[in-house]
Amino acid sequence: MEEFNIIREDQGQKQWRCFAAAATMAAPWKPLLLNAIQTNSNLKHSSFFQLATIGSNGRPANRTVVFRGFENGSDRIQINTDCRTSKVEEIKHSPFGEICWYFTDSWEQFRINGRVDIIDESDPDPLKLQQREKSWFASSLKSRLQYLGPSPGLPCISEETSSIHEYSLDPSSGPISAFCLLVLDPDQVDYLNLKSNERISFTCKQDGDGNKCWTSKKINP
């Protein structure tokens, strides 16, 4: 693997770098994120972040989701969700989203913007279906049971709140139809470190071979 670093100063005396590499090579912001995850691993909430999307009415929608790892060692971020939720319809309408992830121990914030791919049971790509199945089995049985419940967001039929303990699921069975995998492919990352008062903007473009080329620039916090 080759990495080409080009450094120059612009009119604002700020530096930028272009990292041209094969798609399997880590993005320059990823080590910062992995380090933040490790540093804050003692905090249970460090695996949660906010995912914002745009609805068909043009209004933003935001919610907290769980980080399910990177897809096959790449920089693409995985999120499990119910295909019946409003976020799926919002992504179908506008396939872009932004993650906001704040780590309270290290005072670091990551805003990760990119295109979101929806992988449900109807996806024609067998490799994507394998990834969906892998993510299903990587989840706890308690998490999987939630997909057997009533459709999220609809009025409750019964006044009594249903419990996931009311449902049963064969631990060896594959993903049910309600389960889908969201994969966010980053093209912009805004990193802010409040302890060091440092902020870096990362932007991605593709070269002629389809490989990702990241530029990074220090900006004012």
Structural domain of 212: 8-114+181-219
Considering the entire predicted model, what is its pTM? 0.84
Which two structure tokens, joined as six digits, stand for 81? 């969700």
pLDDT by position in tens, the chain (length 221):
333 333 333 433 333 344 443 333 569 999 999 999 999 999 999 999 999 999 989 999 999 999 999 999 899 999 999 999 999 999 999 999 999 999 999 999 999 999 999 999 999 999 999 999 999 999 999 999 999 988 898 888 775 555 655 677 888 999 999 999 999 999 999 999 999 999 999 999 988 888 889 999 999 99
Nearest in space to 78 (alpha carbons), one of 27, 54, 112: 112
CATH number at residue 68: 2.30.110.10
Determine, yes or no, domain membership for 136. no
Determine, yes or no, domain membership for 165. no
